[in-house]
Amino acid sequence: MTETTDRPARGRGWSKPAQLVLGLAGAALIGVTGLFLAAVFLHVAPANSLSRQYRDEIDGVVYPEFEQNWKLFAPNPLQQNVGVDAQVRTVAPGGATTAREWTGLTARDIAAIRGNPAPSHVDQNLLRRAWDFYDGSHNPQDETPIGSRGKLAEQYLKRIALQRIGREAGGERVLEIRFRVTTATVPAPSWSGETAPPAPKVRELPWWPVSDEDYRGLLG
């Protein structure tokens, strides 16, 4: 009788070409992750020679999906309450136009947030960031666009409002829309000794025409 000796089966190993491919892929993944984290760090860090030199490249990585609205080392919390209202003008089948009541867009967001343990990012930031975008790209004296992004900011703000208001108000088609923005400084705590904040500022934008193109891609 022939005796047999049980031997453990040899495990399958990666071939050298496969190991090389895996190693290169791992190195590439680590490198890309490192570059991304470096770009985000430079985006939120105080301005320096490196971030100024590569500002376009950093913005290309961060915007729009990974935008950060805070700054490293020196957080700057919001010090103003901004309320955005919208008013539409409608047209009846006979041609008569009607200016409808103001709609508190920010008030609706606050109502959706208050008491909600997990408020939506849309309710918290969409309208606020849209107004920041508009405010930073327009002259507040005459509401004329500054730079090439001004018209884009107008369309963005308009479409957010139309998404919430709809195509009709009071059974009539929406013809025009305008915005009213009230900015109030958050009062300092009583123990700070600081003077009372100034009176809220109200800024009204001109009427903008509304067309079917403004509703393209909107839900509802």
pLDDT of residue 175: 97
pTM of the model: 0.66
pLDDT of residue 2: 53
Question: Would you list the domain boundaries of the chain?
Answer: 16-62, 80-215
Q: Which residues contact 212 (CB under 8 A, 6 or more apart)?
A: none
pLDDT tens column, 138-197: 999 999 999 888 999 999 999 999 999 999 999 999 999 999 999 999 888 888 777 888
For 87-104, the DSSP string reads EEEEE-TTS-EEEPPPEE
pLDDT of residue 102: 97
pLDDT of residue 5: 54
pLDDT of residue 24: 92
pLDDT of residue 208: 97
Low-confidence ranges of the chain (pLDDT < 50): none
User: How many CB atoms are closer than 10 A to CB 213?
Assistant: 8
